[in-house]
Structure 1
Amino acid sequence: MDSKNQQLYLGIDGGGSKCKAVIMNTDMQILGEGIAGAANPFHNLERAQQSIIDACVLALSDAGLERSAMHSLIAGVGLAGVNLPKYFQLMQEWQHPFKQMHLATDLHIACLGAHGEAKGAIMINGTGSVGYVTSGVESLVIGGHGFPHGDICSGAWLGFRAVEQVLLSDDKLIEDTLLTDKLFKKLAVKDANTLIEAIAGQGATFYGQFAIDVFDCAEAGDAIALQIIEQGAAYFCQVFDRLIAFQQGKVALIGGIKTRLMPYLPKRIHEQVIEPVNPPEYGAVLFAIKQVNS
């Protein structure tokens, strides 16, 4: 396919754990893809910008294009964190390398991708968590306040709660938990003191790595791990019900822990969820095209 004589688009989905990029042509055909590191400017502005560039370079290489082609791309960039006006403005002021950059929240591009249009509802449960629903005119965001202040039922929240419970168990304030052995081995620590040293100053991505351990321990019959998941699932249901009350319809589930979480959700939730039509980075390209044509 000759990509030199047509406008190419870059779609970016940047979150707390990774940044996904896709190169597409005007016919919405995927030419190349790439994945780089975390891209939430609320956590680290410079790292987010570098991750966008890194993911773009990988996608260009996958498409058989030179790095210099970056300057001809029209980019749709959806990021976690830019729902906060300060970080939206900082990203808008970025001297980016693209022909054009159209910035949106990760929620908006995820909804565009999931439903193929600018309306619908989504629940994101990855490193962070948030609910979003839009009618195309009005929208509602529930949660998404960031770790550690919010993001209940996210990977980071699950991991943080696991560490909290391990420390309580070590102090003999609650029962023993399989999480202790899991976390000690993963972090190569031997007791609570060395655990504290290992976790000091760590952020959402670090804690998100323990989410899988919480699910593994719960499935092995661990009561503490099960309590953590059930608390997260209860919050999930509250958010879900508010989304449905705002606009009746199906809710698309997105994020790395959704598959593990589903068995802990009631039947009524299962009946109202759908798989996304397309991923968020595809929605970012749709967003860029809409901005160019508006």
Structure 2
Amino acid sequence: MLTSFKQGYYLGIDGGATKTEVFIAKESGYVLGKGRSGGSNPHNISIDKAIENIRTAIKAAIEDFEIKRAHKKLPYLYFDSACIGMAGIDTYHDKKLVSEKIKSLNKHNDYGIKKLLLVNDGVTGLKAGTDSNWGVCIVASTGCNCYGLSQKGEEAFAGDWGYIIGDQGSGFNIGRSILQQVIKEYDGRVPKTILSEVVMNYLKIKNPEEILQWVYQNNDLVMNVASLTKIITKDLIFESIELANIVNHSIMELIQDYEAVIRRLKFNPEAKIPLVLIGGLFAMKEEFCKRFINSIIDRTPNVTIKVSPQTAASGAIKIALTLDNKYSIMPESSVLFENPNL
């Protein structure tokens, strides 16, 4: 058995639909290394592939740390604690499925993790944008999720049901709706609009019949379709009523998620509810973000909104740093794994 001691390294892991991002930090929170790999949402890929992508991102973060140390090889790393926020981890079945596999992350040839906390990515997203111990986080990227945490540690989720039956406010759903509009225009079911021309130029195709081939290229349907959100600009939204309707529908879906969460947690709509907005749709789409914020304020005028410039991996680091604090309020759904040999 290894002797237990603190080495002062912590891991923050954000397991999203499109990418997995890992931060290595010291006790001060200073980030020493970063790594990325493919997505790790178990609704989109197998759990084994998700774990593989997490390992790849951890390895990349360690290599980045070594580069910053003038390429000095690191000894075996002991992480005092780690937090992983995974998209798609909402239900008891989700946690049971993932928990059996996630344990394997605690021990590796190059590193060991003493404490590993598994949470939904809404938890890490909330921490990325606020130091409050309660509030709501809306993640809107390739997928989407609305998560709420009360001051008692009670939780509520909405919208995070995967790209097939859920994720109505996500980048994937917007991309799918755009493609559906273009196909309708090509079929002659609706009049042709500027949206078809913009989409075909973006896809670099000459005929809508080539869309299916583009969608299924690289076997990454979800990311391919979600990438169509790149065409969203303020000018195009005002020029294309079809795109404006798609964007507004997505916003309303996210607002419904938000309203469902605050009702279930019995938050007073007149209170100063901390609301963190995180993900590509908020960070990179100014008009989308502006419209969403205006709609939220109409419903809950005193809400305190923070569009987080930080990624959920930074929120995961914040949580990892508090795992030794016995007074910290852990979400009901969190699962803690401990390695007794470290």
SS at match of 1:290: coil
Is 2:292 the counterpart of 1:291? no
Match of 2:207 among 181, 191, 205: 191
Query: Contact 2:172–2:226 at 8 Å: present in 1 too?
Result: yes
What are the residue-to-residue correspondences of 1:145-224 with 2, within 5 Å? 145-200=161-216, 203-215=221-233, 218-219=236-237, 221-224=239-242
CA distance in 1, matches of 2:241, 2:294: 22
Partner of residue 262, structure 1: 289
Structure 1 unmatched ranges of 5 or more: none
Which amino acid in structure 2 is aligned with residue 229 of structure 1?
Answer: V
2:251 to 223, 226, 233: 233
| Structure 1: distance between partners of 2:124 and 2:26 | 18
SS in 2 for 1:241: helix
Q: What residue number does 1:78 align with?
A: 85
Displacement of 1:53:
1.7
8 A Cα contact 2:44 2:162, kept in partner: no
Residues 113 and 214 (structure 1), Cα distance of their counterparts in 2 relative to 1, 3 Å cut: closer
- Contact 2:140 2:169 (8 Å CA) reproduced: yes
**Partner SS for 1:147:** helix
Counterpart secondary structure, 2:181: helix
Judge which range, 208-217 or 145-154, deviates more. 208-217
Q: Deviations over 1:90-113 (max 9, x none)?
A: 332222233232211111122223
Structure 1 counterpart of 2:60, from 50, 53, 58: 58
Does structure 2 conserve the Cα–Cα contact (< 8 Å) formed by 1:127 and 1:156?
yes
Give yes or no for contact 2:129–2:315 (8 Å, CA) kept in 1. Answer: yes
On the 8 A contact 2:7/2:80 being kept in 1, the answer is no
Report if aligned partners of 2:134, 2:274 keep a CA contact under 8 Å in 1: no
TM-superposition CA deviations, 1:240-261 (whole Å, max 9, x none)? 3344554231311111011421
Determine the C-alpha separation between the residues in 1 that align with 2:213 and 2:28. 52
Which residue matches 1:141? Answer: 157
- Per-residue displacement from partner, 1:214-266 (whole Å, max 9, x unpaired)? 44673360121111111112223333334455423131111101142123236
User: Does structure 2 conserve the Cα–Cα contact (< 8 Å) formed by 1:9 and 1:26?
Assistant: yes
Specify the SS of the correspondent of 2:34.
Answer: strand
Report the CA distance shift for 1:117/1:178 in structure 2 as closer, same or farther (over 3 A). Answer: same
CA contact (8 A) 2:21 2:35 kept: yes
TM-score by length of 2: 0.76
Gaps of 5+ in 2: 327-342
RCO higher in 1 or 2 (8 Å CA, sep ≥ 6)?
2
3-state secondary structure, aligned to 1:93: helix
Structure 1 pair 196–151 and aligned structure 2 pair: CA distance change class (3 A): same
Residue aligning to 2:99? 92
Relative to 1, partners in 2 of residues 1:278 and 1:185: Cα closer, same or farther, differing over 3 Å?
closer
Give the aligned partner of residue 8 of structure 1: 9
TM-score by length of 1: 0.87
Deviation at 1:149, TM superposition (A): 1.2
Give the partner amino acid of 2:240. D
SS of the residue 1:88 aligns to: helix
Identity of aligned residues (%): 21
Q: Distance in 1 between matches of 2:295 and 2:244?
A: 21
* Pair 220,68 (structure 1): closer, same or farther in 2 beyond 3 Å: farther
- Number of the residue aligned with 2:135: 120
Contact kept? 1:107, 1:132, Cα under 8 Å: yes
Matched residue, 2:335: none
Answer whether contact 2:23 2:33 (CA < 8 A) is retained.
Answer: yes
| Distance in 2 (alpha carbons) for counterparts of 1:291 and 1:52 | 20
